[in-house]
Amino acid sequence: MSHTDVRLDTSVELPVERDALIGSAGRPERRQRGERLMVSKAEFRSYYGQPVLKSPPWQAPDIAGYLFLGGLAGASSTLAAAAELTGRPRLARGLKAGAAVAIAGSLYSLVHDLGRPERFLHMLRVVKVTSPMSIGSWLLAGYGPLAMLAAGSAVTGRLPRLGRLGTLGAGVAGPAVAAYTAALISDTAVPVWHEAHAELPIVFVGSAAASAGALGLLVAPDREAGPARRAALLGAVTELATAHRMERRLGMVGEPLRRGLGGALLRASHVLMAGGALALSLPVRNRVLTRAGAVAMIAGSICLRFGIFHAGVASARDPKYTVTPQRERLEARAESRRRRP
């Protein structure tokens, strides 16, 4: 083959001008010297069909459960603090207990995935403000004892002053606990998670608020359940609206959010969350309907975390979700340089 020929995957030789550049979207492009491309852009193929990225080694039950339970715990603590400050003792007690159980389950899932408990302790040897994992580890180390203290005091009735301090401290840290896991997975090379970094924290916080509000509706009497109902509805609207915007903005990279196991779980999440919100927003107050709506919201929040987890893993396995955004950014920078005077 001469230096003026190029061999494509179909083994057909087509003449091109020497040193021609490959254009974007199959359109001929000109180099700065004015040379014109005569063939379409070659389609990307990874070597031997292997992924460009190494798929995350995390296990779905552990890490997806860790994402859900951490969000539930953080939002429940914040809602519990608000309930205590407004004189709703049964709502506050139920949410404190729920937060303690949830954070214990979240830490268990994390440590189980790590394999050895001391690996979590090793992350506390340093503080790195640019690392979501480092900050998250310290956040959990501080929040966990506060949530346990608040729950223990509420259930046993002992040490009420310490319990109140624990309640307020856990309530302040709660939003960060609910949101930091989104920053944690966004700070990776996994295409879906990384490209969704702008919306993912809002989606997680909305989902956490919805599940915490739903938990409050399950554990509190109707006369104290007003804040829980409002939190559940606000969280559901926030999650649904932001998730819809995220899926549209990601475009091609967001395909795993609409296809496969991840897409199926996310569709189920949207249906459950919307159905639960509809049940809770009806003017008729029916205890059975309220409980059904609350359970649907919690199930929807679980499906959301599992769906986003599986969508991220699927995007890491397909090279096009890694290479296409890189090419687009490269072409955008090249176009920006060409337009400079």
Provide, rounded to the nearest whole percent, the portion of the chain with pLDDT above 70. Answer: 85
Residue 15 forms part of a structural domain: no
Phi, psi of 198 (to 5 degrees): -75, -40
CATH classification of the domain holding 276: 1.20.1630.10
CA angle (323, 188, 45) in 5-degree steps: 20
Q: Look at the chain and report how many structural domains it folds into.
A: 1
For residues 97-101, average pLDDT: 96
Residue pointed to by tokens 């955004």:
325
DSSP, res 283:
S
From the CB of residue 315, how many other CB atoms can be counted at a distance below 10 Å? Answer: 27
Please write the tens of the pLDDT for every residue from 124-141: 888 888 788 888 889 988
Whether 7 maps to a domain, the answer reads no
Is 323 among the domain residues?
no
Q: Which domain holds residue 294?
A: 62-308
DSSP character at residue 30: B
Whether pTM > 0.85 for this model: the answer is: no
Helix axes 287-317, 320-339, angle to 10 degrees: 70
d(CA 227, CA 319): 46
Query: Which tens digits make up the pLDDT trace of 202-237?
Result: 999 999 999 999 999 999 998 999 999 999 999 999
Residue 163, pLDDT > 90, answer yes
Task: Please list the residues that pair with 125 across neighbouring strands.
Answer: none
> Is residue 245 included in any domain, yes or no?
yes
Longest Cα–Cα distance in the chain: 87
Taking the CA atoms of residue 205, residue 63, residue 216 and residue 150 in that order, the dihedral angle to the nearest 10 degrees is: -100
Give the model's confidence band at 246: pLDDT under 50 very low, under 70 low, under 90 confident, else very high.
very high
DSSP character at residue 254: G
pLDDT value at residue 47:
61
Report yes or no on 338 lying in a domain: no
Rounded CA gap, 77 and 83, in Å?
10
Would you state the pLDDT for residue 44?
A: 55
Cα 111 to Cα 269: distance, rounded to the nearest angstrom: 27
pLDDT tens-digit series, residues 50-95: 677 777 778 788 899 999 999 999 999 999 999 999 999 999 999 9
Tokens of 236: 């559901």
- The answer to whether residue 326 sits within a structural domain is no
Closest CA to 265 of 76, 74, 68: 68
pLDDT at site 87 = 93
Report residue 50 as tokens.
């292997």
